[in-house]
Every structure is written in structure tokens, then in C-alpha cells.
Structure 1
């Protein structure tokens, strides 16, 4: 997901391209960064393939992760991977460094609180307050709950009215049937 302004318009210049630019992120209001690819090459930091990184996540007891999920998070720029060209068949491969592990841990923690990707993105990359976003989510959920409660109440009233009208009609029908039976019995006597 590219960065968006208040009107939800995408800022086309704000793509999280860690191959060409340092990427700053926040965990518990502390600022960190993923260095651009050229720095990785100079520093001899170990790049891990997507499969190796997935194994590292499993060793760190991070469950329910898959290569497809890592690719999805990369495509949505929630967990940007280094893209390295490799041969003619596969044009780009995704690579990760150890610092990505901290981001994954934070994403998983925030997802466990029920936050959506856009909200997680704001916390990690824009240093928005977790507490405020979480509280606003609770308020929205409460509003939805109250609307659902009103809908259920309305359904109950409709059911009561429907049952009442059916009972009235059945009662009329039974009275009519009793009158007819009475007349039939009188005729036979």
C-alpha cells in the first residue's frame, strides 16, 4: 500500500522502495530503519531468501506465516522486501534481513488485536498511536453493535406484529369454522 493523505489519495512519490531508499519504521514509538540495498551490499549483511526467512519465522515461533502471506505483505508494502534480479526466468527475487523479523513480530502482534493492514501500516510507518487507533476501532465496533442491536429490536417488533396479525386471522378463521360447524350440526339434528 502506498502512503495516502487524509483524503485517501495515494502519494505516488511515497512508495516504500527499500532497494533505493532507507525505510524508517517505528516499534513502540522507537525509530528504526531498513537500509537501502546498496548499503546492505557494502555492509555484508546477510540477505535471506523468502524461504529462509520463513524458516527463521518458524524458529521464532511465529505461526500461520506462509510465502504467499510474505509476498502479499511485500506487495502491499507492509513488509517491503529487497528485490534482486536473478536470471532470465525469475526476474526478481525477494530477500530479507534480520531487522525484518522485528517488523513481522510487530505486525503479528497488532493483527492479534484485530487491527487491519491500513491501521498497522499507520502505526509502523507513520508512528501513529496504537492506543488512539485501537480506541477508535473499539468505538466503531460499539457503534456497529448498537446498530445491530437496533436492527434486532426492529426485527423483534416486526415478528411480534406479524405473529399478532396471524393469531388474529387464525382466531377469525376458527370462529368462522365453529359457526359453520354449528350450523352444520343444527341442520343434521
Structure 2
């Protein structure tokens, strides 16, 4: 082992989070990737659209490297939360392609700049607006993993698929009967605790 390379380490974590989020779409119908499964409308394709758009802004505009990708859902006159769902006219393929373009644009910024390169986040409060590439990498890793966690739960609600990525579910070993028993046990514990 040759030691840590901080930028490469951060970039690897970002890429792993990206792939985990995108994997949650695999094998699902158009309805299921768009279906809102929480009271606030959280849905898989919307999570991908949001994170793709966010990457384009943070690794683009913040460092004076804007992409040529229009993001009409971020316009001043866009409806609230327009970046958190895909319209019927926006295909899954288009949203995935948007995310891949965001990766390429972000990766070019990451490759071109040093970790201490500075930028400005115009939508943040003035006292926190000046940032470094290091800060934005950490921010986007946290943002992407946060939304990948949302996607984990939404996907499990859709069809029971769980885990980090294909071939590595990162879950405790057990068949369906074991998981059913485990969940029942947790329900009993919750009910017992509620009686105290």
C-alpha cells in the first residue's frame, strides 16, 4: 500500500455512492421508478434527477465551470420540488444520461482542481459561501449517500430488493423466513417498550 491519496479517496467514495443510487433503478417498471412511496413524494427517479442536478451545480457553477446542461427545474419560476420527480415526458434513460453527464462534468472539475481550490456557493449564507473543492466533495458524498439511503428504503418497499449494490447486498445473512422472524421480533420489542 502506497498511502492515502485524499482526492482519490474522496472521489472513490463519491463514485461508489453514485453507483449505489443508480443501481436502485435496475429491473423496475416506469411506474415503480416514479412511484411516490412517502408522504412527501420520495421516489427513485426523482432522487437520481435531484442528485444529478445538484452535482452539476456544485461542481460547475460553484467553481466557475458551469455546464451547458439546462436545469429548468432550478429556475426561479419553477414549481417547488421540480427537481425531485420526473415528468411523464422525461424518460428514465434521459434522467440516467443526465446523471452520467453530471458525473463527467464533476469528474472533470475534480481532476482539474486542487482540493484547496476555492469557489462560491451563491445559494448558501454569506458567511459560509466560500468553499474549497475538498468541502464540496465531502458535501456531495454526504448528499449522495443520504439520498442513496432514501432509495434503499423506497426500493425495499417496492419489491424487497436491498443492499449496497448488485453482488454486494451488505446485509446480514438469512433467508426470507429468518428476516420475517427478525422483523416480528423487533415488532414485539417495540410493543413491549411502548407498554413501559
Between Structure 1 and Structure 2, the one with more strand by share is: 1
TM over 0.5, shorter chain: no
Q: Give me the TM-score of the superposition, normalised by structure 2.
A: 0.26
Greater relative CO, 1 or 2 (CA 8 Å, sep 6+): 2
